Amino acid sequence: MTETKKKFRLSDVWKFLKNSLVAILRGELLLRLNVNKYFPQIAYTFLLFALSILFSLMVDGTLGKVEQNKQTLQELERLNSQKTFELITLNRRSTVATLLEEQGSDVAEPTRPAQILK
């Protein structure tokens, strides 16, 4: 019985890595590994991963818009309450009369009812 033992050489590792890299660059890795019969399943799995990543990015974008819209809504609510307060304070007759006098306007409260023009 003769046994042939192969010695481990660093050049063999280098050759294997080089061949693997060339196969990856040429797109022949799956063919060299002889898994071409599983290609539809591999392509399907890749498609599922790609869709999962795409949906995750879309959800993140939507959540970002929701947070931005919440901040905008809060700001608009503050502005609305401020404008409502200003409108209520200006709605009183005494305040309006005072503002008109300060502006030097001749407008005053009516002393007689309005005339209807035909």
Full-model pTM: 0.47
How confident is the model at residue 13, as a pLDDT? 86
DSSP assignment of 27-79 equals: T-HHHHTT-GGGHHHHHHHHHHHHHHHHHHHHHHHHHHHHHHHHHHHHHHHHH
Whole-angstrom distance, CA of residue 118 vs CA of residue 95: 34
How confident is the model at residue 88, as a pLDDT? 79
Burial of 32 (0-12, 13-18, 19+ CB in 10 A): middle
- Local mean pLDDT, 10-residue blocks, the chain (118 residues): 65 87 84 82 94 96 96 94 83 77 81 76
